[in-house]
Amino acid sequence: MDIFSQKAFLFDFDGVIVDTEKYHYKAWNDACAAFGTRIPEEEYPYLKSTGAPNFFAYFEKKLSRSLTPEEKTALLSAKDASFSEYNSTITARDVLPGVIELIEKAGQRGIVCALASASRTAKERVEALGLEGLFDTITDGAEVARKKPAPDIFLTAAEKCGAAPADCVVFEDSPAGIAAAKNAGIPAVAVGGLKTPDAFVCVDSLEELLP
């Protein structure tokens, strides 16, 4: 499929626009260190973008016990505080290769470009980096009820773009994100080295997609 024949591009943020996933990973491990456990690097891809309840369930399985409501609150607060500290070091220089060029090429061809991130703070993070001008519309996790792999975030973004799901392309770096695109009926590009048969193409960098 020629992605430039589509009407809308829907971009995840973490790991697609900016390499922030490494900081999410560090922040979760900072938080769970207090419980004497950690997330092995090879297990993290299947957790990212799925929401805090899935992380809690993961930790409960690792600990062989349930977390109390107070522990869940403390765990999430510690994670958010740690990530905020890491996130403060990110600048526009950290935008991943090919991102700006691909969005500019799409705009030149009349393709609507949207940010569709499960993060509830995606809008403010984009603004802090001065990237809001790249996108025609932004949808974040505060606007949908269900996290990935539910299709909500991408269906909402497609509707904002005025495009049918089949006329969009999703750019994702997580298995849950690719599954969300599939559940929405939207073809997906797997980026960042993710290999999955559910994407119609897998690339290490968006630079590979430039015409």
Among residues 2, 12, 152, 204, the one annotated as catalytic is 12
C-alpha 51/C-alpha 62 separation (Å) is: 17
Closest by alpha carbon to 204, among 171, 177, 178, 182?
171
Is residue 94 part of the annotated active site? The answer reads no
Residue 109 structure tokens: 């061809």
List the structure tokens of 137.
């519309």
**Catalytic residue status for 2:** no
Q: Which residues have a Cβ under 8 Å from the Cβ of 159 and sit 6 or more positions away?
A: none
Cβ proximity of 207 and 201 under 8 Å: no
Q: How far apart are CA 129 and CA 18, in angstroms?
A: 10
DSSP alpha helices (H): ranges in 4-67? Answer: 21-32, 52-63
Active-site residue (options: 14, 136, 140, 152): 14
Q: What is the set of active-site residues? A: 12, 14
